[in-house]
Amino acid sequence: MTKHEDAVDAVIEAFLDYLEGAGIRPTVDHLTEEDRKRAETLMQAMEAGRGIDPHASRPPVEALLAGTRLTGLLAGDGALPGVADLATVRDVLADVDNRAQVAIDPAGAQGTVAYCYLDFRARFMLVDSETPAITGGTEAMVAALFDQDGDVARVGVVAARATELVTVMLSADDVGSTVTTPRGEPHVPSEPLLPLALAARRMIEQCAPEWQPFDFDSALLRQPDVHAIAAETAARVIGREAARSYRGDKARAYRALAGRENLFADLAARVSARGAQAVDYGEETDRIARTAA
């Protein structure tokens, strides 16, 4: 150990005694300018860390995110008494993105919460535990949800007894039979455990589709004119058939119908009206042909 290191170390040892109440605060006046800066930096660091309990439990997520832009993603104040139910899950998910549709689906053994964002669909199920551990029974329930609904892309497993509703998101590849790694290790889901709202937000950012803005053609929204469409179609068909080299009654019938397409248009409009009675199209066609003749 050099003389340079001895001088600084002696000050630091005396400073540790001072922090423990066994001495006075040492001075650094006798040190060189370089040693004094180094010693002061070390003492400031030790003084800043004084009183920190290395064995203290981690602070809750709510405390870490308080005052940040992510505060709104948390479920209320994080204090969910007792065991959460599907209504609680629905309410938390409904606040994640107001463009999504969230609803409770009571079907199945315990029901799920369906989450739809554009054409992306996910389901959230509750497990009665403090962590969403993927046990054999849970894996079977998740696999059943994928089998029952082919549109589901993700299933969220939510711990009902966790105050933060800790959730893990699973895809169909994460359950059931999967190919092992080259080393023979089983496939392990890689999604992190997150509070429900944060897990849903992450899911949307990673999986949900993005649609370009679009608008409907207002002309397509107008009620179609059945009479005009039927008249146009009948005129086109009658004109085409009248131009064929038919002979006898068939030729005379088509020539007689030329310009009488409104008879067919009236029939189409009548049968398409709300509450219209059923008609015999054969009889109506014969009647039109007789009228035209």
CA-to-CA dists, residue 41 to 14, 35, 48, angstroms? 15, 10, 11
Residues 12 and 80 in one domain: no
215 found inside a domain: no
pLDDT in tens, 124-176: 999 988 888 788 788 888 888 988 888 898 999 999 888 889 999 998 888 86
DSSP 59-104: PPHHHHHTTSTTGGGS-TTS---S---HHHHHHHHHTT-TTSEEEE
53 found inside a domain: no
Residues 162 and 281 in one domain: no
Q: Say which residues have a Cβ less than 8 Å from residue 211's Cβ, sequence separation at least 6.
A: 118
Strand partners, 167: 158, 194
| Structural domain for 77, as ranges | 71-207
Burial class (CB in 10 A: 0-12, 13-18, 19+), 123: buried
214 found inside a domain: no
Strands (E) across 152-204 are located at 154-159, 166-170, 194-195
Residues 245 and 197 in one domain: no
Q: Residue 115: enclosing H or E segment and its boundaries?
A: strand 112-117
Domain boundary residue, one of 207, 231, 253: 207
Residues 183 and 137 in one domain: yes
pLDDT in tens, 137-148: 888 888 889 888
> Where do we find the tokens 């994640």?
96
Residues 230 and 173 in one domain: no
173 found inside a domain: yes
Q: Residue 120: enclosing H or E segment and its boundaries?
A: strand 120-127
For residues 105 and 114, give the distance between their C-alpha atoms in angstroms, rounded to a whole number.
6
| Whether the Cβ atoms of residue 293 and residue 254 lie closer than 8 Å to each other | no
Per-residue buried b or exposed e for 245-281, using 16+ beta carbons within 10 Å of the residue's own CB: eeeeeeeebbebbeebbebbbebbbeeeeeeeeeeee
Q: What single-letter amino acid sits at 188? A: V
Residues 87 and 38 in one domain: no
The total number of structural domains that make up the chain: 3
What is the C-alpha end-to-end distance of the chain, expressed in Å? 124
Residues 286 and 189 in one domain: no
Per-residue pLDDT of the chain (293 residues; tens, 9 = 90+): 455 557 888 888 888 888 777 778 888 888 888 888 888 888 887 777 665 555 555 666 666 666 665 555 554 444 444 578 899 999 999 999 888 899 998 876 678 999 998 889 999 999 988 888 788 788 888 888 988 888 898 999 999 888 889 999 998 888 866 555 566 655 555 678 899 999 999 998 888 777 676 666 666 667 778 888 888 888 888 888 888 888 887 777 777 888 888 888 888 888 877 777 777 877 877 787 777 66
* Helix, strand, or coil (residue 175): coil
Distance of CA 8 to the CA centre of its chain: 58
Residues 113 and 138 in one domain: yes
226 found inside a domain: yes
CA-to-CA dists, residue 114 to 25, 61, 102, 171, 174, angstroms? 64, 26, 6, 15, 19
Q: Say which residues have a Cβ less than 8 Å from residue 134's Cβ, sequence separation at least 6.
A: 142, 157, 168, 170, 174, 175, 189
263 found inside a domain: yes
